[in-house]
Structure 1
Amino acid sequence: MTVSYFALYRTPEDPADFESHYFGTHVPLVAKTPGLVDNRVHRVTRQYVGGPGYHLLAELVFESPEAMKAGMRSPEWKASGEDLASWGAMELVTMFAAEPVATDAG
């Protein structure tokens, strides 16, 4: 069963500058994480309720909970975390893991 790790970024002061570093440097570092099978990045186009304002949602999909744990112990993951801290993005992000839940959609 896959498991996802999410990074939800609040809207930065300069979205274009943020995205330049995020997509040009950070995403390629994250992509090297062992056990990562997909990196889905979504731009928030409209927020209906709640706050603060959000800009990006990254969903990092791992093969399994064990693969995610191993990936998070890797030098590649450490490098991506160091990069995140180096340009102030840690102040904008909320991170959490989640796994799919079966629902009865009727």
Structure 2
Amino acid sequence: MVKLIAMYRQPEDKAAFDHHYTNVHLPLAKKMPGLQKIEITKVLGTPMGTDADYYIMAEMYFADEEALKASMSTPDGKAAAKDVMGFAGNIVYMMIGDVVEG
């Protein structure tokens, strides 16, 4: 299993970010074929009690890397990618990870 991880730094306008993310972006992302599970983590802070650099971490799970790449190349995958770059391109960092059971 692999996951696409999106780390969002603190947005300037959290209310506007939350509204777009919840009402526009997540519905687009959930249409991606092969998506098995999506987890959204709102970052509360650091263990030292300070503010974190990141606001949200999104993890999208797929069967394998081929399924992820295939999903991203579909119209639904391209729509989600275009949307994220439009509303959060300057604050998002994305990576792909291999899920390893601990």
TM-score (normalised: structure 2):
0.89
Contact 1:47 1:53 in 2 (8 A): no
Alignment correspondent of 2:22: 23
Deviation at 1:52, TM superposition (A): 6.8
Distance in 2 between residues matched to 1:44 and 1:70, nearest whole Å: 30
For 2:30, the aligned partner's letter is: A
Give the whole-Å Cα distance in 2 for the aligned partners of 1:81 and 1:100: 22
Match of 1:70 in 2: 70
Which runs of structure 1 show a deviation greater than 4 angstroms over 4 or more consecutive aligned residues? none
In 1, distance between residues paired with 2:30 and 2:100?
25
Distance 2:47 2:94 in 1: 21
SS in 2 for 1:86: helix
Structure 2: gaps of 5 or more residues: none
Aligned mates of 1:32, 1:66 — CA distance in 2: 17
- Secondary structure, aligned partner of 2:45: coil
**What are the Cα deviations for residues 56-92 of structure 1, in whole angstroms up to 9, with x where unaligned?**
00000012222111111111011011112222x0100
Structure 1 Cα separation of the partners of residues 38 and 52 of structure 2? 24
**Partners in 1 of 2:31 and 2:101 — Cα distance?**
30
Q: Which runs of 5+ in 1 are unaligned?
A: none
TM-score (norm 1): 0.86
Q: Cα–Cα, structure 1 residues 70 and 46, in superposed 2: closer, same or farther, change >3 Å? A: same
Q: Percent identity?
A: 36
String of CA shifts for 1:15-62, please: whole Å, max 9, x gaps: 11101000110000000001101111100011247x971100000001
**Aligned-residue CA RMSD in angstroms?**
1.7
Secondary structure at the aligned position of 1:23 is classed as helix
Rg comparison, structure with higher value: 1
Q: What residue in structure 2 maps to residue 34 of structure 1?
A: 33
